Structure 1
Amino acid sequence: MENQYNYYNPDDNQFQNNYSQGEPNHQKNPKKITKVIAVIGLAIIFGIVSSGVFLSTSYIGTNILGLNKNSNSDVKATTTAVTKSSSVVTSDVSSIVNDVMPSVVAITNMSVQEVQNFWGQTSQYQSESCGTGIIIAKTDNELLMVTNNHVIADNESLTVTFDDDTSVDADVKGTDSEHDLAVIAVPLDQISSKTMEKIAVATLGDSTALQVGEPAIAIGNAMGYGQSVTTGVISAVNRESTTTDEQTGETEETGVKLIQTDAAINPGNSGGPLVNANGEVIGINSSKLASTTVEGMGYAIPISDVSDIIDNLMNQETKHKVSEEKKGYLGVKGYDVTEESAEKYNMPTGVYVAEIVKGGGAEEAGITKGNVITALNGTTVNSMEELEKELGYYESGKTVSVTIQVPENNGEWTEKTVDVKLGKSSK
């Protein structure tokens, strides 16, 4: 069969027919091959030139004109910002704690408690409680620590344990039950030189400058297990709160505005520091102010609000308990003026003098029936029990200063301080 094929003739610039018997004609045209090679060569040259131009343009734009540098910088800045944000959320407070911990001590209070049985008989047993203290000063012969008054109340003996786990006995310097504050002291000659090198005086901050939401770190001897750390934020400032007596269940105003934090404050944390991000003490923790009905509401006494009270307690004479037979007596009989009674009868809280013992030191000093005793040697007393305990530090024959409130005809009260020479018990 005869087949027909069309081909292009470059010489005539037109298609022509080629007739052949059987298979088509495969004879090559030399001019056609030359032209194809030329086209391919031009394409290769064009590709090389285009690549060179692109690379040159990219180099000039990047390295000379700096066109892509801003884009790269933005990526790095974003990465840095994310990293910084992440570090804030998972912030490491170990360096702050390491700086503060040498100024924190654990306090052990050994006291004697009386228990009444079913038949009305009483028996005594020794009780141990724990708390925390903050080293706030070093004098020529003493190391002074501030804590909560309820931490050291009713003590027969006090022991403080430093950051290096060494322990020494401590004495009471001064107390203020109204603000739940106390200062205790340890003689320097009782502390080894090795321990002295490892302890430090705390840096006090400004609690009046606190901002809600800023970080807060609580340190203390929680549950008596040793020093531990909890973190949170300042939840609120200037909070009003009441304390609850664990034995009687009675509540009373604390007498000072408080810092609220969600950092956990548990029994044993009392008296320990609440510090800011700079490691400065901004508050004195108190588990006594915490409620068992809510979570995330711990309280601390603002350090700036009670600095004058602490200074007063620090400057008092260090007290040492005396034996019962040597104990001095004022020569008065009285009863408590509670917050409720004070408000109802327009009286100051303290000890109402109901009777004066003839020939006693109080009578000689001019204290009369109807006066209200509010302090002994600068230490606030709100009850007859507190007055008796405070007198337990003074021997008979010792002269003490007694602060009294004297009623006036117009219903007002005038404060006076008198010196009383303590007598012996008439028992």
Structure 2
Amino acid sequence: MGYYDDFDTKPKKNKGNLGTWIAVSLVSALIGSATTVVLVPTMIKSNVIETKSAFADNGTTSGSKETVNVNIQTGVVEAVNKVKPAVVGVLNLQKSRDFFGRSSDEQMAGTGSGILFDDKGHIITNNHVVEGADTVEVSLQDGKRIKAKVLGADAMTDLAVLEVDPNDVKNITPAKFGNSESLNIGEPAIAIGNPLGLKFAQSVTVGVISATKREMPIYDEAGNEVFSQNVLQTDAAINPGNSGGALVNIKGELIGINSAKISSTGVEGIGFAIPINEADPILQQLMEKGEIVRPVMGISPVALTEVPEGYRGEVPVESGLYVYEAHENAKKAGIEAGDVIVKIDGEAVEDPIQLRKILYKKKPGDKIKVEFYRDKELKTVEMTLAKPE
């Protein structure tokens, strides 16, 4: 879900010598380590398929399922009319520098889409649409361009919130949020955005919800998978420039933020959007704090399956999280290096990605129950999650 990203299954690592294992362990030190890892949703290159983001380069709440009966043709038109005015263009302007380090005038580095979602001038878009921008502008339905401030952005979820002067958008009805948890596979899905830039502003494509709860791997700059983002899959055409645009249901409600597609010879109609139910709490935090503060346990974990048998001690399990290093917060709770964590709040954990998915639903200060083995002895402790250092 990054800028012209590649998407494929990451090659399996060889279970090599201790030096290799330690290197893997240090990469896994993201959780609870004092080391800050810059997370960007960058996909590993593959000879099989390639995922392109929907960012146009210029060269540089749970609920039950619903049954909706509607005339599709009329319903699509009505849904588009509700949301289309709230879909805007987002322009990423950057300064370039010459050989002597002198900066030039700002030039458009790329364009994406965004959605006005309240009457206070707040606009949703993707992080990768505004990443690296010196200035961000928003293009309205009538072609007017206005300055926008980036209130906050989160590379992990690829979301960002912009703010414009409310007076500039007072005549636009904000998009209404739907419920992405109540979607039925096969129901209509409408994508609205700016494919290939402002020349095709507010283009509409129509398809269906192809699948829900797909998993999109997210990698760090070193190519290590660090998280897994839940996304909606649709066959509504998503093209460069659609990033940050609206995925809408037949009732004209916003159900997803368009983000990426699989682009490869012989592959058509596989696009992805961030579900609005998952995006909403992120947006609220970005507006309030300007960033997402995720909790840490205070450990450097590695999957037990990656640990050579000679270093596992006498643990009676084959899977879990080996604590390569315990930091201050974990030590307070009684967790030590060499322990093997098997459950968090009753949920089994086998690798760092599973652990992050559990922790990132919580906040610093929350308490969790940790079950772990120290050699053959099963122990249980309660600990308080901390803020990252």
Is residue 106 of structure 1 aligned with residue 89 of structure 2?
Answer: yes
Mapped partners of 2:119, 2:95: distance in 1:
31
Give the conservation status (yes or no) of the 8 Å contact 2:125–2:160: yes
Q: Is the 8 A contact 1:235 1:262 kept in 2?
A: yes
User: Who is 1:300 aligned against?
Assistant: 273
Deviation at 1:347, TM superposition (A): 11
Q: Deviations over 1:230-253 (max 9, x none)?
A: 0000000100123589xx794746
1:210 corresponds to which residue? Answer: 183
1:177 aligns with 2:155: yes
How far residue 200 of structure 1 moved from its aligned partner, in angstroms, is: 1.4
Asked if 1 retains the 8 angstrom alpha-carbon contact of 2:111 and 2:129, the reply is yes
Shift of 1:414: 6.9
- Is the partner of 2:134 in helix, strand or coil? strand
Q: Is the 8 A contact 1:252 1:339 kept in 2?
A: no
Q: What is the CA distance between 1:138 and its match in structure 2? A: 2.6
What is the aligned partner in structure 2 of residue 233 from structure 1? 208
Which of 164, 167, 171 is matched with 2:142 structurally? 164
Q: Is the 8 A contact 1:242 1:251 kept in 2?
A: no
- Does residue 153 in structure 1 map to residue 131 in structure 2? yes
Q: How far apart, CA to CA, are the structure 2 residues paired with 1:88 and 1:308? A: 33
Q: 1:101 to 1:149 in 2, by over 3 A?
A: same
The one-letter code of the counterpart of 1:274 is L
Structure 2: runs of 5+ lacking an equivalent = 1-68, 292-299, 308-320, 324-363, 365-372, 375-380
For residue 200 of structure 1, give the secondary structure of its aligned residue in structure 2: coil
Aligned pairs (5 A) from 1:128-139: 128-139=109-120
TM-score scaled to structure 1, two decimals? 0.49
Counterpart code for 1:222: P
Query: What is the correspondence of 1:18-33 to structure 2 with a 5 Å cutoff?
Result: none
Q: Matches of 1:100 and 1:89 in 2, distance apart?
A: 16
CA distance in 2, matches of 1:254, 1:146: 22
1:186/1:178 Cα in 2 relative to 1: closer, same or farther (>3 Å)? same
Considering only CA atoms, is the larger Rg found in Structure 1 or Structure 2?
1
8 Å contact from structure 1 (residues 113, 127) kept in 2: no
1:211 deviates by 0.4
Structure 2 residue aligned with 1:290: 262
- Superposed CA deviations along residues 76-134 of structure 1, whole A, max 9, x for unmatched, are xxxxxxxxx9x95766622221111121111000124679x9xxx99977552001111
Conserved 8 A contact 1:240-1:258: yes
Query: Displacement, 1:306?
Result: 2.4
Letter in 2 for 1:230: T
Q: Given the alignment of the two structures, is residue 242 of structure 1 paired with residue 225 of structure 2, yes or no?
A: no
Q: SS in structure 1 opposite 2:251?
A: coil
Partners in 1 of 2:140 and 2:187 — Cα distance? Answer: 29
Distance 1:339 1:417, change over 3 A: closer
Q: What whole-Å deviation, never above 9, does each CA across 1:182-218 have from its counterpart, x for those lacking one?
A: 1011123xx44xx522x11110000000000000000
Q: 1:180 touches 1:254 (CA, 8 Å); kept in 2?
A: no
Larger RCO, structures 1/2 (Cα 8 Å, 6+ apart): 2
Q: Distance in 2 between matches of 1:209 and 1:292?
A: 31
Which residue is equivalent to 1:27? Answer: none
Q: Which residue of 2 aligns with 1:310?
A: 283
RMSD over aligned CA atoms reads: 4.3
Gaps of 5+ in 1: 1-84, 319-337, 349-402, 404-409, 421-427
CA 1:416–1:268: 2 relative to 1, 3 Å: same
| Equivalent position SS for 1:260 | strand
Identity of aligned residues (%): 39
**Structure 1: how far apart are the matches of 2:149 and 2:240?**
22
CA distance in 2, matches of 1:238, 1:204: 18
**Aligned partner letter, 1:94:** V
Q: Following TM superposition, by how much is the alpha carbon of 1:229 offset from its aligned partner in structure 2, in angstroms?
A: 0.5
> Which residue of the partner structure matches residue 252 of structure 2?
279
Change (3 A) 1:339 1:230: farther
Shift of 1:255: 3.4
- Equivalent in the alignment of 2:236: 263
- Give 2:115's aligned amino acid: I
Alpha-carbon separation, structure 2, partners of 1:340 and 1:270: 34
- The size of the alignment, in residue pairs, is 245
Greater percentage in helix: 1
When residues 177 and 153 of structure 1 are mapped into structure 2, their CA distance, relative to the original with a 3 A threshold, is: same
